[in-house]
Amino acid sequence: MSLLDGQADGRKGGQGPVEQSSAEASSARPPDRPEDGMNRRRFLKVLGVAGGGSLAATACGSSSPEKLIPYLLPVEDQIPGVATWYATTCRECPAGCGVHARVREGRAVKLEGNPDHPINRGKLCSRGQAALQGLYNPDRVRGPMARNASGNFEPISWQDAITRVGERLGAAPGAQVRFVTGNEAGTFDRLVSDWLTTLGSSGHVVYEPFGYEAQRHATREVFGTDELPWYDFGAARYVLSFGADFLETWGSPLEYTRGFVASHAFADGTMGKFVHVEPRMSLTGQNADEWIAPVPGTEGVLALAIAHVIARDRLGSPPSDAARLRPLLQAYAPEAAAERCGVSAETIERLAREFAAGPSVAVAGGMGAQHADAHATAAAAHLLNYVAGNVGRTVRFGVAPNPAGGSRYQRLAELSQAMQDGRVAVLLVHGANPAYASPAGLGFASAIANVPFKVSFSRFLDETAMLADLILPDHDPLEQWNDFEPRAGVNLLQQPVMQPVFDTRQTGDVLLELARLMGGRMAQRFPAATYKDHLQNGWRRLHQQRGSRDAFEAFWTEALQRGGVWSEPRSRGAALAAGATRVAATPPAQPEGRFTLIAYPSSVLYDGRAANRPWLQELPDPVSKLGWSTWLEIHPDAANALGVTDGDMVEVTSDAGTVRAVAWVYPGIRQDVVAMPLGQGHTAFGRYAQDRGANAYQLLAAEPTAFGGVQHYAAVTVRATGEHENLATRAGSRRQLGRGIAQAVTLAAITAEGFHPFHEAHAAPVPEPIEKVLDEWQEEQYRDWKERGNYAGAHPRWGMAIDLSRCTGCSACVTACYAENNLPVVGKELMQRGREMSWMRIERYFEGEEGHPPEVRVVPMLCQQCGNAPCEPVCPVFAAYHTPDGLNAQVYNRCVGTRYCSNNCPYKVRYFNWFDYQEPSDQAFSWPEPLHWQLNPDVTVRSKGVMEKCTFCVQRIRGAQHDARMRGTPLRDGEVVTACQQSCPADAMAFGDLNDPGSRVSQLAADGRGYHVLDGLNTRPAITYLARVWNRAEA
Amino acid sequence: MGCHLIAGATIPEVAKVREAWSANQPIEWLKVHRMPPFVHFPHMRHLKGETAVKAEITCQTCHGQVERMPQVYQFSSLKMGWCLDCHKQNKVTTDCSACHY
């Protein structure tokens, strides 16, 4: 009976042909009832975007029709169902990583790193992934707004808005116009400066809260240049960091992570060494082979003491004029220094020998170490590099990284004073939030009240925008034409990857239109019709400079496709300036009877600008594993003394102010130090950020330091309030308790004679005859079904290898997974109840004795796709089963929600949809519009009552398999890349076919360091972990 | 709108196409063949895939004699059992995760 014999059924919805099928689609439970809100297709609902291919919301089996709405005029690059990729630049921080935006039907749904890009080489951090939640944020300003008579914002037209600004600018004396921007190095920065100059103002203030003032002061003093050095971590076999969090926010974190992992990960029997010096063990510090906690503020003394020993013993190969430094180094003999910084003289001697023994690099100037003497620390690190001969090798000039864009807190303080004094008539703010991200004592928010006319170009109603009279929302970075210059020789382009979501306008266009409106000199100076034209004019000049032989059009198109133009600048060393011999470390006095508070930059929320992205709020902080919170890190002994434990609310008071935070007991911090992350405590900025946690800036002194920066250290008292809250964390026990989940070995052990492959040495010992019987029994169980039906024949076995000596714990993979797989964000309350949904989590365990500095081990934990899965046999409806290609599959429409599978999973990597996260009326609704535009159309959005878990990005596997079939050649190793693997800045994951002996994952799985988590349970996971290697004497 | 000014100029349905064009509105087609959102159906594999070509699957195999339909209707049940019957007949995969993920 051929298919054509089947009953031709005239009715829609198919009441069914007559043939009886043995395997009728048996949804035990129809997953998409008509009343269900959003399904995979709803996101395509037309929302005014011209002609987007779209369907009205309904479900299968219902009688209401779905619609197919094609483009009236097909758009050139868009084929429905096929993604288009656009190259642009991430602007979530000043590192300037390159991004490829995956666009489906005119909407950006995923960001991935640009593989050709010199800075990030195809990788992207959590903040970069979460840029999409800035684009689709429900609290974006949707059009121009003006403050009305009753003081509220009301929408106005662009015409009206621009006219008003033009009038006020025309009336105000040019010298009284001020423009605060963030680091926008490139065409926009130059436009703002030119624009102001033409107006008669010199008031362009660049403000980046992370201004690296200490490092810049030091570089000027020691090398006589305003340019910051660039560090070649990849060439350094020994890294000594004085509080520089180069794996998190410092400088160019993805670039430095790549270099660091290249030389520090265990490979070919060897690895580099990393020593981190900071009173608090940051995430960067957790990756160190040795963590040294000096007396706060004395890092400079330590650095100079190490330099003293190197000079004294003539270690390494210093440049000839290093001798000039001898007199200054005299005062830092190890014994004297040891007393001041709390690090023993033997340690100092040893560090010096190690540092000078090979290619090394010392880095300093992190914002989490910006105390009053931070410039001396940075200068000391420069000198240390100099005497060891690193300058010109691992420390290079000519590259000129520019993370701060010329920002100086001093200038913000001056502006604040000018506003207070009434010397500012018009204030414009773009890409900066000084009302939040500056010490409260500066009084920026109250000073701004003295300015008669304030304009904000902010995309969100942040604290500064809330004080403005007029808001002219800028396009999101993903919607605009622009460029960015993070360092010398690198010119990056941004292009719109989709139509603007709302009625916003690029600020550059607004400025040009204002110039036209004001006429005269302004109109003459800025003739470009649009900002894109203006940008292209600048690039024509660039094109000429580079002497390219192509016509400009070809050059421009190629640059757009590539993401920009870049060339390796000629890097060089530097000679000592006169000021180098005047460097002196003068640590600030320790506060008597109070703690030293360190307000450190959050690797997740940065300086607070990312706090309105729900993915980042939900992302457990890599150190504390807390989400949606501000915490105070406090040493166990100090906590005991205060009578405080995890979850107790404490009040932290400095001379500048008071905040409340939840206490988090952490052995990785000095007893006399407490630490608090920046980024929360917003008083505006939307539903995800507002009224959450504490703003640590309120504890910081407003007075600029000697080097013109904000002092991130403060003397504080901590008081228990008696209140308690459950920690919003998904972490369980901090100790492995002998479970062997995160394994590590020392370099000495692994390179010793007779080192056994890890899994052999550490597996539970089973007598050989019994092991033989078990193996035979196992084989017999599988013998039959391996030949049956779908399982017969050759299949790949998808597997993964995760190298723990590369993984830094940064958690970029977690956010990438959220973006790719439509994971719902559950919010703080549900997270406190353990309902988080992240398929990938970074487990963090402390090792070592109580009271000693902890060894930290991280393990990315995801569904292990067990070959002998405990979850499969217990599913009553066969929703969890093993596929022929080695995946543990979860069929959502079959799941009835017994949750037995999750109960049985020893890794606890199965997650249940307790709520209807996609239903607007549900209390846990996760995608207020237009956040749902981000949803990946290739992945089912799960509804309530369904179990879900990591699928090894099965949509990518199937997609690649379809492509391979269509082109007729087999899949190549490396063609399928999971989302987590794709994003990992350290390239810690390998994915591929374990049945292919030549694949990278097979080779890694056979590595001597390889082991399985909870091996003794005989689950036969498809994921092999490669044990961490520590470059230290004992484990 | 070159062809349809002339071709089929008198047919009312074609007139609708012309009207949509001049009103600058895309035509809102009602979807006849619908799959639930938890099914990922690769249409291309069924057109140009090796087995599909060998089995000489044509449009009409699943969609019926569309060229003779005054108004397109759903010819096959599109239920999973119907899909599986053809899959079993042609000896291609019946693995759940081929389509359900």
The values of phi and psi at residue A165, to 5°, are -65, -45
Cα separation, B20 vs B11, whole angstroms? 15
A15 to chain B nearest CA, in Å? 7
Chain B interface disruption, residue of A49, A72, A969, most B CBs within 10 A: A72
Cα separation, A606 vs A433, whole angstroms? 13
A878 to chain B nearest CA, in Å? 10
**Residues facing residue A632 across a β-bridge:** A663
Nearest to A340 by CA among A380, A407, A303, A294: A294
Give exposure, A15-24, as e/b (b: 16+ Cβ within 10 Å). Answer: ebbeeebeee
Of all residues in chain A, the one with the smallest CA distance to B99 is A958
Given an 8 Å threshold on Cβ–Cβ distance, is A941 in contact with B34? no
What pLDDT score does B10 carry? 86
Query: CB within 8 A of A651, min separation 6: which ones?
Result: A658, A659, A660, A718, A719, A721
Asked if B96 reaches chain A (Cβ–Cβ under 8 Å), the answer is yes
* Chain A residues whose beta carbon lies within 8 Å of the beta carbon of residue B50: 965
Distances (CA, A) of A709 to A92, A224, A296, A405, A466: 22, 19, 18, 14, 26
Of all residues in chain A, the one with the smallest CA distance to B78 is A14
Distances (CA, A) of A304 to A299, A315, A344, A353, B99: 9, 15, 14, 14, 64
* Chain A residues whose beta carbon lies within 8 Å of the beta carbon of residue B73: 8-12
Give exposure, A1009-1033, as e/b (b: 16+ Cβ within 10 Å). Answer: bbbbbeeeeebebbbbbbbbbbbee
**For A831, which DSSP code?**
H
What pLDDT score does A348 carry? 97
- ipTM for the whole complex: 0.94
Given an 8 Å threshold on Cβ–Cβ distance, is B101 in contact with A889? yes
Task: Give the tokens for residue A218.
Answer: 């030091």
Given an 8 Å threshold on Cβ–Cβ distance, is A69 in contact with B26? yes
| A243 and A277 Cβ atoms separated by less than 8 Å | yes
User: Do β-strands A230-231 and A107-113 pair in parallel, antiparallel, or remain unpaired?
Assistant: unpaired
Given an 8 Å threshold on Cβ–Cβ distance, is A17 in contact with B77? yes
User: Do β-strands A470-471 and A453-456 pair in parallel, antiparallel, or remain unpaired?
Assistant: parallel
Closest to B86 (Cβ–Cβ): which among A3, A25, A26? A3
- The string of pLDDT tens digits covering residues A872-900 is 999 999 999 999 999 999 999 999 999 99
Given an 8 Å threshold on Cβ–Cβ distance, is B45 in contact with A884? no
* Chain B residues whose beta carbon lies within 8 Å of the beta carbon of residue A890: 101
Query: CB within 8 A of A699, min separation 6: which ones?
Result: A597, A599, A652, A653, A654, A656, A657, A658, A659, A676, A714, A716
Of all residues in chain A, the one with the smallest CA distance to B66 is A8
Displacement of CA A219 from its chain's centroid (Å): 28
Taking residue A354's Cβ as centre, other Cβ atoms within 10 Å add up to 18
What pLDDT score does A344 carry? 96
| A960 and A975 Cβ atoms separated by less than 8 Å | yes
Asked if A794 reaches chain B (Cβ–Cβ under 8 Å), the answer is no
Given an 8 Å threshold on Cβ–Cβ distance, is B101 in contact with A965? no
Of all residues in chain A, the one with the smallest CA distance to B26 is A72
Asked if A3 reaches chain B (Cβ–Cβ under 8 Å), the answer is yes
The values of phi and psi at residue B74, to 5°, are -80, 115
Helices A187-199 and A531-545 meet at what angle, rounded to 10? Answer: 110
Asked if A965 reaches chain B (Cβ–Cβ under 8 Å), the answer is yes
Please give the sequence-ordered ranges of beta strands (E in DSSP) within A477-580, or none if there are none.
482-487, 490-494, 564-566
* Chain A residues whose beta carbon lies within 8 Å of the beta carbon of residue B29: 67-70
Nearest to A272 by CA among A310, A317, A236: A236
Of all residues in chain B, the one with the smallest CA distance to A68 is B29
| A180 and A376 Cβ atoms separated by less than 8 Å | no
DSSP count for chain B of H helices, then E strands = 5, 1
The H or E element spanning position A844 is strand A841-847
Radius of gyration of chain B (CA): 18
Task: Give the tokens for residue A511.
Answer: 């400025």
Could you say which residues from 68 to 97 on chain A have a Cβ atom under 8 Å away from some Cβ of chain B?
68-72
How many C-alpha atoms does A38 have within 13 Å on its Cβ side?
28
| A1019 and A288 Cβ atoms separated by less than 8 Å | no
The H or E element spanning position A889 is strand A888-890
Given an 8 Å threshold on Cβ–Cβ distance, is B84 in contact with A8? no
Closest to A962 (Cβ–Cβ): which among B42, B73, B76? B42
Cα separation, A567 vs A560, whole angstroms? 16
User: Do β-strands A798-803 and A1023-1026 pair in parallel, antiparallel, or remain unpaired?
Assistant: parallel
A961 to chain B nearest CA, in Å? 10
What pLDDT score does A9 carry? 33
Displacement of CA B49 from its chain's centroid (Å): 16
Of all residues in chain A, the one with the smallest CA distance to B88 is A789
The H or E element spanning position A721 is strand A713-724
CB pairs under 8 A, 24+ apart, for A898-902? A899/A947, A900/A874, A900/A875, A900/A876, A901/A871, A901/A872, A901/A874, A901/A875, A901/A947, A902/A871, A902/A947
Task: Give the tokens for residue A213.
Answer: 């003032």
Given an 8 Å threshold on Cβ–Cβ distance, is A68 in contact with B31? yes
- The string of pLDDT tens digits covering residues A404-426 is 988 999 999 999 999 999 999 99
What does the H/E/C string look like for A138-157? CCECCCCEEECCCCCEEECC
B40 to chain A nearest CA, in Å? 8
The H or E element spanning position A427 is strand A426-430
Asked if B49 reaches chain A (Cβ–Cβ under 8 Å), the answer is yes
Given an 8 Å threshold on Cβ–Cβ distance, is B77 in contact with A4? no
Consecutive 10-residue runs of chain B (101 residues): their mean pLDDT?
83 88 90 91 92 93 94 94 95 94 93
Residue A888 three-state SS: strand
The H or E element spanning position A962 is helix A954-967
Task: Give the tokens for residue B28.
Answer: 């809102």
| A812 and A285 Cβ atoms separated by less than 8 Å | no
| A950 and A862 Cβ atoms separated by less than 8 Å | yes
Cα separation, A697 vs A599, whole angstroms? 8
What pLDDT score does A71 carry? 84
Longest dimension (CA), chain A: 99
Given an 8 Å threshold on Cβ–Cβ distance, is A889 in contact with B97? yes
Cα separation, A781 vs A872, whole angstroms? 15
Task: Give the tokens for residue A761.
Answer: 């040495």
Nearest to A511 by CA among A498, A528, A495, A536: A528
Confirm whether pTM is higher than 0.90. Answer: yes
Write out residues in chain A with pLDDT < 70, as ranges: 1-63, 760-765, 1034-1035
Taking residue A812's Cβ as centre, other Cβ atoms within 10 Å add up to 27
What does the H/E/C string look like for A766-814? CCHHHHHHHHHHHHHHHHHHCCCHHHCCCCCCEEEEEECCCCCCCCHHH
Chain A, chain B: beta-carbon pairs less than 8 Å apart: 159
Cα separation, A161 vs A649, whole angstroms? 45
